Amino acid sequence: MPQHPTAPLPAPRVLTRSLPMELLTPDAAIRVETTVGYDSRDPHALSIAFHLLGEDEVVWRFDREMILTGSLRPTGDGEIQLRPDPDGGLLLLLGPSGQRAVVRCEQDALGRFVRETFVLVPQGTEERHIDWGPLFASLRR
């Protein structure tokens, strides 16, 4: 099978930021430290690592465009849903129905982070940052 020349992948770019959030319970809002991360090798997604006391961190992955949409109107299905909070925050509803955690973050801070990811990898150029080689190699087996 002929090989088509491919353009070299851009150098990977990584962005991380600490961002405090709140786990909302019926009785209280509990501050949770998080690290928001972006790696251009997975250009459509960002991660939020929740650093819980006495436990390993819990990492959730989000579509970066979904974060922006969720700050304007409810979006998502299943285990990840987002919606604006009337006081200017962003609510992350995480987990299956009946066991869902509700986390509140500062909408402006998370929105700034997401916009920075679009500076690193502009919308519409994501596919240029993905190394398709391993997938294609596995399909040829």
**Predicted pLDDT at 110:** 96
Distance CA 27, CA 38 (A): 33
Residue 136 vs residue 127, higher pLDDT: 127
CA triple 10-13-16, angle to 5 deg:
165
- The pLDDT assigned to 128 comes to 80
Compute the mean pLDDT over every residue in the chain, rounded to the nearest whole number.
89
| Percent of the chain whose predicted confidence (pLDDT) is above 90 | 69
Domain ranges within the chain, ordered by starting residue: 14-139
- Write down the pLDDT at residue 5: 52
Predicted confidence (pLDDT) per residue in 95-129, tens digit: 998 899 999 999 999 999 999 999 999 988 788 87
Banded pLDDT at 1 (limits 50, 70, 90): very low
Cβ contact 34:19 at 8 Å: yes
Backbone angles phi, psi at 67, to 5 degrees: -60, -45
Region 32-38: what's the mean pLDDT?
Answer: 97
Q: Among 42, 48, 63, 68, which residue's Cα sits nearest to residue 126? A: 42
13 pLDDT exceeds 60? yes
Top-level class of domain 14-139: mainly beta
Q: Which pLDDT band, with edges at 50, 70 and 90, does 65 fall under?
A: very high
CB atoms closer than 10 angstroms to residue 72 = 12
Higher pLDDT, 83 or 98: 83
